[in-house]
Amino acid sequence: MAHFLIVEARFYDHLNDLLLEGARAAIKAAGHTHETLTVPGALEIPAAIAMASETQRFDGYVAIGVIIRGETYHFEVVSNESARAIMALTLDGLPIGNGILTVENEAQALTRARKDEKDKGGDAARAAITMLEISEKLAG
């Protein structure tokens, strides 16, 4: 049984609740456990994962959040930099599922977050589980 950390940027409560529902269900269905940590925004997710990895308490990580395009360049900065930093952590060997939604509007976010539709929270958790399994297999 593996223990996962879900790191969520809780900016849109109702959307995060949907993503968390999917992630938690996927982890439970796979027979694993989890904890949840809330950070201020998507840019803080990779830092929290990096800090948590130093504790060696977790086997894998799930990044959850929603970034909705606004009227400024901020959307691109947050979307690109959070994804870049998560990718850097995965290249360092951390099993991470990226469930940070980058969408144009709330309707797109709802479709992607709902467990009975695209279930991106569940997809992120399943990706983290798969990457952990690959890591363990390669380690022998």
Does the residue 127 lie in any domain?
yes
Quick check: is 129 in a domain? yes
- Evaluate if residue 73 carries a pLDDT over 90: no
| Residue 122 domain flag | yes
Whether 57 and 12 have beta carbons less than 8 Å apart is answered as no
Residue 6 forms part of a structural domain: no
Instruction: Write out the binding residues for 5-amino-6-(D-ribitylamino)uracil.
Output: 11, 42-44, 66-68, 98
Query: What pLDDT score does 71 carry?
Result: 86
Contact 65, 42 (CB under 8 A): yes
Work out how many domains the chain is built from and give that number: 1
DSSP-assigned states of every residue in 28-65 = HHTT-EEEEEEESSGGGHHHHHHHHHHHT--SEEEEEE
Q: Is residue 41 part of a domain?
A: yes
Contact 62/96 with Cβ under 8 angstroms?
yes
Q: What is the pLDDT of residue 68?
A: 96
Q: What is the number of alpha carbons within 13 Å of residue 122 lying toward its C-beta?
A: 16
Residue 70: CB partners within 8 Å, gap ≥ 6? none
What average pLDDT does this structure show over 24-47?
98
Residue 75 pLDDT: 93
Percent of the chain, pLDDT > 90? 94
* Stretch 11-18: mean pLDDT: 94
Residues of the domain holding 94:
17-45+55-139
* pTM assigned to the model: 0.97
4 lies in a domain? Answer: no
Question: What rounded mean pLDDT belongs to the chain?
Answer: 97
pLDDT tops 90 at residue 11: no
Q: Give the residue numbers of the binding site for (2S)-2-hydroxy-3-oxobutyl phosphate.
A: 71-72, 112
The per-residue pLDDT for range 77-109, each reduced to its tens digit, is: 999 999 999 999 999 999 999 999 999 999 999
CATH number at residue 103: 3.40.50.960
Domain-embedded: residue 9: no
Q: Is residue 1 part of a domain?
A: no
Give the catalytic positions in this structure. 74
